[in-house]
Every structure is written in C-alpha cells, then in structure tokens.
Homo-oligomer: A and B are copies of this chain.
Amino acid sequence: MKRIEEANREALRRILAGEPVGVDVVPAAQAIPALGERTILHAGPPLAWERMCGPLRGAVTGIAVFEGWANTLDDAERQAAAGAFAFHPNHHFGAVGPMAGVTTASQPVLVVENRTFGNRAFCTLNEGLGKVLRYGGNDAEVLDRLRWIRDVLGPALGRALRETGGIALKPLMARGLAMGDEMHQRNVACSSLLVRQLAPALAATARSGAELVACLTFLGANDMFFLNFAMAAAKALMDAAAGIAGSCVVTVMCRNGTDFGIRVSGTGDQWFTAPAEMPTGIYFPGFGERDANPDIGDSAIVETMGLGAFAMAAAPAVVDFLGGGRASQASAFTRAMAGIVVGANPAWTIAAMDFAGVPTGIDIRLVVESGVAPIINTGIAHREPGVGQVGAGMVKAPLRCFEQALVAFAQAMGVA
C-alpha cells in the first residue's frame, strides 16, 4: 500500500536525520522526574516480580540495597514479593538499560539529545565486565562500584560532557564501524575514541588529580564502556520515528529475560511479546548452556537501529567471539538483515562491503513474509541471581512478536 510505503519512508527519514549528542550525565531522578522513590525501571517489556528471571531479580534486590530501600538482599526480595516496589520498563520513560537494565533514582544516567528532533534518551553508565549488576551481580563489590560510579565517575563525566558542549555520537560511531565495532558486543574502538575525545575535558574539569586518575583508569580498562552510549543514541534516534500512522517499522526490540517485546511505529506504545529465546554462543570456562538465562536487555535497540548483528560485516572479529562461524563470512549476517529493512544508513557504512550503509528500519511485513527474524548479538547472563556473565552469543527475535504486531498493524490500518 502506498500509504504504508510513505509512512515507512518517513520513519526511515527520521531515523537517518537524527543527530544524537551525548550532553550530560545526571542522576536518573533529575533526568526522569517521574522516577520516584521505590520505583525500579527494568529492561524489556512490562513484567511483574513473580515472572522475573534470576539475573533481573538479582539486579532488583541489589539496587534496592544500593538505594537504601532494603537492608539486605533477602529483605529486598521479601519487599519485592510484597509489592513494595513499582516496576516499569525503561522504555516507558525514554530510557534503556543493558541486560537487567535496572534504573533507579540515584544512579547517574547518560543524557543523549537528538539535536534534530529535540528528544532525549537516557542510559545508566557501563560498569565493566565480570560481576556486575546488569548481569545479576549484587554483592559488596558490585554495590561499591555503583557507589563510586554515582559519587565520582558520573559527576566527572557530566562535567566533562558539559565542558565539551556535547559529543556528537553519529560521526564517532561512523568511525567505530570502520574500526571493527558493531557497537553491541564489540565497543573497544568507540570506547577508545570516546576516552581520547573526552580526556582533555575530564582533565580540565577534574575535582582532583586522584579522581582523574581513577576515572581514566576505569575508562582505560572498560572496552564495553561505549555500549551504553550506543544504546542511548539508538533510543534517541528510534524514538523520533515512533508514532507515525501507517508505518510498520520496528522502533523497539527488547527483552526482560522472560519475554521479548517489540513496538512498531504505527501502533504506538503497544507491546507485542513472546517468550525470550535462548542465545547460542560461547561460554566462559566452567559455564555452559545449562547455566544460561534466556535473552535479556534493552541493548537490542542497537540492532533496531541497524548496528549490532545488522552491522556484523564491519566487525569480523566479533563473529568469532560470539561463536557465529567463520569471521570471513561476517557479511552474510548483514546481507541477511538487509532483506528485512526499508533502507540503509549512508552515515554508517561498512568498508568491507565497499561502504554500503547498515541495514536500517526493520519492516515487520518483511520479517513475517520471509520468516527471517532479526539477529541480535548479546551477552549471556547466568540464570541464577548474583552470578554474572557466563558467555556471549547470538539470538533471534521471536517471529511471534512480529506476527502479532502485523495483525494489530493491519487492524490499525483497517484491513483486518
């Protein structure tokens, strides 16, 4: 239908026209005024405590202790079961979070502004690898690191970003694509470019030499630091393409470890969900499939925007890391994803494919017709609370989400 094609073209136009700029780091309560006491935002579509998976429960209880709403993890669990906390998806507040993705009032969040459309998106700061809250870790080491991020790193990054006037993320990510990042499971290039660009401002605005050294040391050891920037940029870009009547372009893909959920431009805030799939990939020594939690995290917003597995051709090394087959065949993933999108992004190109743009704007009709599900590069969390990451791999978005969405979209269009 011509009306759908036009609406999808408009969705693509808005995605491509966006200019995401990292402008600040502030406490989540400041970025999201609606975020009150005892409110916990989480990754993926809406979910009650009773259905939450292990790593999400681990993160929820950990953050309740961190916020001072509970004295112990057990206390937090009892309170959660008793309904003491309000749970909402990040996506209901313009936010995203990797893996468990819990966001609460006092955590610092990165603020990314889409300068073209004026909308803003938020994401917590990346904690690094190992035992971390987003993978369900919640012991003293995890909470101490979160306190340091709240008290030292967050304010330092906020000062530095304000000092620079904002870091334009689109050109930085374009460079990262030419440097082997797909910006989901490989972020070492963008993380390094970001540190190199921010370091002068960090130095110029440091509260003390010791704090500066601590921040630069943390950033220097965290290859995934940029992931949360990429996610907030993606959210800022995709939000601008939401709510276009007649468009069947996907604006959100996300998972909470129990359900996978998508949103489509022309059907607005409605969620279409299905059980989250199990990733396949490579496990860290001592772990295996039996330890894995189903797919979790808002990070699939990166694929929704055309990066991650969609840009696999730019990052042959990540194919090996994810157990995805031969690195030299990385472009096969990108070519497959090109079959289910409405266009390509000329600002984000892949040198190894002679500067073809990344596939952008998933069309639910093409997914359902072809049976080709979007591929997502992902970390794998242990299914029990408190353990952490056990591997990395790939996972497919459940076709059922797209089938449901297509039915609802057809109804909205008056054709079903």
- In the complex, the answer to whether A197 meets B180 with C-beta atoms within 8 Å is no
Nearest chain B CB to A405 CB, angstrom units: 35
Q: Which one of A55-63, A119-127, A188-196 is at the interface?
A: A188-196
Which A residues contact B (CB, under 8 angstroms)? 175, 178-181, 188-189, 191-193, 195-197, 199-200, 203-204, 206, 209, 212-213, 216-217, 219-220, 316-317, 319-320, 326-328, 330, 351-355
Contacts of A320 in B (CB 8 A): 351, 355
- In the complex, the answer to whether B220 meets A196 with C-beta atoms within 8 Å is yes
**Which one, B188, B200, B220, B355, contacts A179 given CB within 8 A?**
B188
Highest count of chain B CB atoms <10 Å: which of A188, A192, A204, A316: A192
**Which one, B179, B199, B326, B351, contacts A216 given CB within 8 A?**
B199
Contacts of A355 in B (CB 8 A): 320, 327
Contacts of A330 in B (CB 8 A): 352
Contacts of A354 in B (CB 8 A): 326-328
- In the complex, the answer to whether B199 meets A220 with C-beta atoms within 8 Å is yes
Contacts of A196 in B (CB 8 A): 191-192, 195-196, 219-220
- In the complex, the answer to whether A351 meets B317 with C-beta atoms within 8 Å is yes
Given contacts A196-B219, A328-B352, 9 further A-B contacts (CB under 8 A): A192-B192, A192-B193, A199-B219, A199-B220, A203-B209, A204-B213, A206-B209, A316-B352, A327-B354
Contacts of A204 in B (CB 8 A): 209, 213
Contacts of A327 in B (CB 8 A): 351-352, 354-355
A-B contact pairs, 18 of them (CB 8 A): A178-B317, A180-B351, A189-B189, A192-B195, A195-B195, A196-B219, A199-B199, A203-B206, A203-B216, A204-B209, A316-B351, A316-B352, A317-B351, A320-B351, A327-B352, A327-B354, A327-B355, A330-B352
Chain B residue, CB-CB nearest to A191: B196
Contacts of A212 in B (CB 8 A): 203
Chain B residue, CB-CB nearest to A178: B317
**Which one, B191, B200, B206, B351, contacts A217 given CB within 8 A?**
B200
Nearest chain B CB to A385 CB, angstrom units: 33
Nearest chain B CB to A389 CB, angstrom units: 21
Chain B residue, CB-CB nearest to A315: B351
Chain B residue, CB-CB nearest to A217: B200
Contacts of A178 in B (CB 8 A): 180, 317
- Once bound together, how far apart are the Cα atoms of A206 and B316, in whole Å? 39
- 6 nearest A-B residue pairs (beta carbon): A192-B192, A316-B351, A317-B351, A200-B216, A199-B216, A179-B179
- Once bound together, how far apart are the Cα atoms of A196 and B188, in whole Å? 11
Nearest chain B CB to A206 CB, angstrom units: 8
